Homo-oligomer: A and B are copies of this chain.
Amino acid sequence: MPTADDIKATIATYVETFGPDKERWVALFTDDATMEDPVGSEIRKGREEIAALWDFGHSLAEDVQLELGGPICVAADEAAFPLSIVSRTGTTTIRINAIDVMTFADDARITSQRAFWRMEDAQVEQG
A positions within 8 Å CB-CB of B: 4, 38-40, 69-71, 73-82, 97-99, 101, 115-118, 120-121
| Closest partner residue, chain B, to A84 (CB atom) | B71
Most chain B CB neighbours (cut-off 10 Å) among A4, A97, A101: A101
Number of copies: 2
Alpha-carbon gap, A59 to B19, bound state (A): 46
Interface CB pairs A-B, < 8 A, 21: A4-B118, A4-B120, A39-B75, A39-B78, A40-B75, A40-B76, A40-B78, A69-B70, A70-B82, A73-B116, A73-B117, A73-B121, A74-B116, A75-B115, A78-B116, A79-B116, A80-B99, A80-B116, A82-B99, A99-B99, A99-B101
